[in-house]
Copies of this chain bind each other. A is one copy, B any other.
Amino acid sequence: MAILTTVEHSDDPRIDDYRDLTTADRRPDRPGGRGLVIAEGVVVVRRLLDSPYPVRSLLGVPRRLDELSDDLAGVDVPAYATDADTMARAVGFHLNRGVLAVADRAPAPSLDDVLARARTLAVCEGVGDHENLGSLFRNAAALGVDAILLGPGCSDPLYRRSVRVSMGHVLRVPFTTLDGAWPASVDRLREAGFTVAALTPSADAEPLASAGLGGRKVALLLGAEGPGLTDEALAAADRRVRIPMASGVDSLNVATAAAVAFHAVTGGG
Q: Are B214 and A135 in contact (CB under 8 A)?
A: no
- Bound-state Cα–Cα, A169 to B252, Å: 12
- Additional A-B contacts beyond A141-B246, A144-B245, A244-B266 (16; CB < 8 A): A43-B250, A135-B256, A138-B253, A139-B252, A141-B249, A142-B246, A142-B251, A142-B252, A143-B244, A143-B246, A144-B244, A208-B269, A244-B268, A259-B259, A259-B260, A260-B267
Residues of chain B within 8 A of A260, CB atoms compared:
259-260, 263, 267
Task: Tell me the number of copies of this protein.
Answer: 2
Residues in A lying within 8 Å of B, measured CB to CB: 43, 135, 138-139, 141-144, 167, 169, 207-210, 214, 243-246, 249-253, 255-256, 259-260, 263-264, 266-269
Q: Are B249 and A169 in contact (CB under 8 A)?
A: yes
Residues of chain B within 8 A of A209, CB atoms compared:
214, 263-264, 267-269
Residues of chain B within 8 A of A255, CB atoms compared:
256
The one of B210, B249, B256 in contact with A269, judged by C-beta atoms closer than 8 angstroms, is: B210
The one of B142, B208, B245 in contact with A249, judged by C-beta atoms closer than 8 angstroms, is: B142
Residues of chain B within 8 A of A250, CB atoms compared:
43, 142, 167
Q: Residue on B with the closest CB to A269?
A: B209
Q: Residue on B with the closest CB to A207?
A: B268
Residues of chain B within 8 A of A144, CB atoms compared:
244-246
Residues of chain B within 8 A of A264, CB atoms compared:
209, 263
- Bound-state Cα–Cα, A208 to B214, Å: 13
CB distance from A41 to the nearest CB of B (A): 12
- 24 A-B interface contacts by CB (under 8 A): A43-B250, A135-B253, A138-B252, A139-B252, A139-B256, A142-B245, A142-B246, A142-B251, A143-B244, A144-B245, A167-B250, A208-B269, A209-B214, A209-B269, A210-B268, A210-B269, A243-B267, A244-B268, A252-B259, A255-B256, A256-B256, A260-B260, A260-B263, A263-B263
Most chain B C-beta atoms within 10 Å of own C-beta, residue among A209, A246, A263 = A263
Q: Are A263 and B249 in contact (CB under 8 A)?
A: no
Residues of chain B within 8 A of A43, CB atoms compared:
250
